[in-house]
Structure 1
Amino acid sequence: MDYLWLFVSFFLIALVYSSAGFGGGSSYLAVLALSGLPTGAIRPIALICNLAVTGGSTVSFARAGVMPWRRALPLVLASMPAAFLGGRVLLAREEYLLLLGALLLLAALLMLVRRPAGAEAGVKSGGAAGAVAIGIGGVVGFVSGVVGIGGGIFLSPVLFLTRWAPAREIAATTSLFIALNSAAGLAGQLSVGTEVDYALTLLLLLAVIGGGQLGTRMTLRWLPPAYIQKIAAALILFVGIRLVWTNWPL
């Protein structure tokens, strides 16, 4: 296996995604899936790297005072048990890669949907909004736990499209959601005996920590968020199509 290729790929993914407030879990999975690693080794590596990138972002948002704790907590509290249960689901390699490809296609399409005008205004909170948040958190958490990602790539577009909150608060909530669901999904995997390739994981952790730290320091003039999102969506779309095509039952 070409470890240098994996190291460089993970560094660049963390660099790009952290600049936009994401962890990069879906792209880590995509790269690992194409590398030929066993299915059991793919999910924990992606989640650990995801956690390393978004954990730092969450701390930064909290220190800056932009974390909407009252609105974010229902999402997160509903998603973590669901992510744990999803992490316990074991699928055959072909089924897993087909599901992963389909979800990557969905994620890419969601990322390509442009945010509607007036989304910065947000929506009023209330009982109905809280119920919707719990429902969204539960569904996204379970699916994310099954495939081994933090779920931010699904959550963020939904929050933008529903005008859930201003952009900075959505970014902060997404980082918190990804970090805690990555931890919950990883716990679910380890609870059923999933083994971790510690040597490879440590190597890739060094790559994502370096890329993530650099990404958070990049200015918007160098890498505008809209441009980052289009690049990420194009990568996810390509790999999703390839996974669905190669694993579709004949």
Structure 2
Amino acid sequence: MEPVDLLVLATLIFVAAALYSSVGHGGASGYLAAMGLLGVAPAVMKPTALILNLLVASLAALQFGRAKAFSWSTFWPFAAGSIPMAYLGGLLDVPPSAYKVLVGLVLLYAAYRLWRRPTMAEKVVRKPPLLLALLAGAGIGFLSGLIGVGGGIFLSPLLLFAGWADPKTTAGVSAAFILVNSAAGLLGHTSGVMAIPPEGVWFVLAAVAGGALGSRWGSRRFGHARMRRLLAVVLVIAGGKMLVA
């Protein structure tokens, strides 16, 4: 990769990590979009995105956990359903083109609802039904492992729209969910890690720096209204990426 392309890609990764981590996300869809824009080989994109996602989600989970924005009772059913399915999805190499278009449209609609109705997430928080949480986690996990993301872009709007978490707890739960999902997906795609080029270390440094900055600001400085608006922006980016991929 040419030095200019390397600098541009590292900068895009930094920006994506800062933006996504501010709402508890790892940023995989942003990394995939950036790498696709710069012409990175498909065989490199998936494992690279999962590794960066793992690092940034770790930082986000730590920061939101310190800010007491996490609920174990909300997290574990989704994680229990997602982990084995994320591993299974990581084993497969099938481009789910039609489904990605549908998911992209859903994410854009979710972003619209969050932006236009800022009070919708202020409803009384209730515990998610166990079976529904397990099934939703399984579906999100499989899709996440298949395309190389952590699943936060799907879990966050679900938690908010269903009234299962407030915005900050949603961010904390999503960060932990992305962490375990990325690890499971990467475990299922270990062969792809060998394809990552040496300059990948610069991507790691950029992602860690952006993730540290974004997660700190998101966990300590942003109120619920701003968190919803930020999440809406993230969903637009992720949804747009799904549609044009």
TM class by shorter-chain length? 0.7 to 0.9
Residue type at the aligned position of 1:201: G
TM-score by length of 2: 0.85
Alignment of 1:17 onto 2:20: yes
Cα deviation per residue 1:18-53 (whole Å; 9 max; x = unaligned)? 122211111111122232222221111111111111
Tell me which residue corresponds to 2:175. 175
Tell me which residue corresponds to 2:40. 37
Cα deviation per residue 1:172-198 (whole Å; 9 max; x = unaligned)? 1111100110010000011x5653314
Q: Against the structure 1 CA distance between its residues 167 and 41, is the aligned structure 2 distance closer, same or farther, given a 3 Å change threshold?
A: same
**What is the correspondence of 1:211-226 to structure 2 with a 5 Å cutoff?**
211-218=210-217, 219-220=221-222, 224-226=226-228
Residue type at the aligned position of 2:13: F
Cα deviation per residue 1:53-101 (whole Å; 9 max; x = unaligned)? 110121233334442112311111110000000000112xxx4566555
Tell me which residue corresponds to 1:196. 195
Secondary structure, aligned partner of 1:199: coil
Q: Against the structure 1 CA distance between its residues 143 and 56, is the aligned structure 2 distance closer, same or farther, given a 3 Å change threshold?
A: same
Alpha-carbon distance in 2 for matches of 1:98, 1:199: 33
Q: Against the structure 1 CA distance between its residues 105 and 203, is the aligned structure 2 distance closer, same or farther, given a 3 Å change threshold?
A: farther
**Worse-superposed segment, 147-156 or 1-10:** 1-10
Tell me which residue corresponds to 2:74. 71
Alpha-carbon distance in 2 for matches of 1:217, 1:65: 13
RMSD, aligned α-carbons: 2.4
Tell me which residue corresponds to 1:47. 50
Mapped contact 2:111–2:233 kept (Cα < 8 A): no
Tell me which residue corresponds to 1:59. 62
**What is the correspondence of 1:98-117 to structure 2 with a 5 Å cutoff?**
100=100, 102-114=102-114, 117=120
Q: Against the structure 1 CA distance between its residues 105 and 204, is the aligned structure 2 distance closer, same or farther, given a 3 Å change threshold?
A: farther
Alpha-carbon distance in 2 for matches of 1:229, 1:89: 29
Structure 1 stretches lacking a partner, 5+ long? 244-250
Secondary structure, aligned partner of 2:195: coil
Alignment of 1:82 onto 2:104: no
Residue type at the aligned position of 2:57: T
Alpha-carbon distance in 1 for matches of 2:16, 2:91: 27
Structure 2 stretches lacking a partner, 5+ long? none
Alpha-carbon distance in 1 for matches of 2:121, 2:236: 26
Secondary structure, aligned partner of 2:40: coil
Tell me which residue corresponds to 1:154. 154
Tell me which residue corresponds to 2:244. 242
Secondary structure, aligned partner of 2:165: coil
Q: Tell me how far 1:4 sits from its aligned partner.
A: 0.9
Alignment of 1:184 onto 2:184: yes
Mapped contact 2:69–2:171 kept (Cα < 8 A): no
**Worse-superposed segment, 24-33 or 112-121:** 112-121
Residue type at the aligned position of 1:242: V
Residue type at the aligned position of 1:229: L
Alpha-carbon distance in 2 for matches of 1:194, 1:98: 27
Residue type at the aligned position of 1:216: S
Cα deviation per residue 1:118-144 (whole Å; 9 max; x = unaligned)? 64411245xxx0011101100000000
Secondary structure, aligned partner of 2:49: helix
Alpha-carbon distance in 1 for matches of 2:121, 2:11: 38
Tell me which residue corresponds to 2:205. 206
Alpha-carbon distance in 2 for matches of 1:150, 1:124: 23
Residue type at the aligned position of 2:42: T
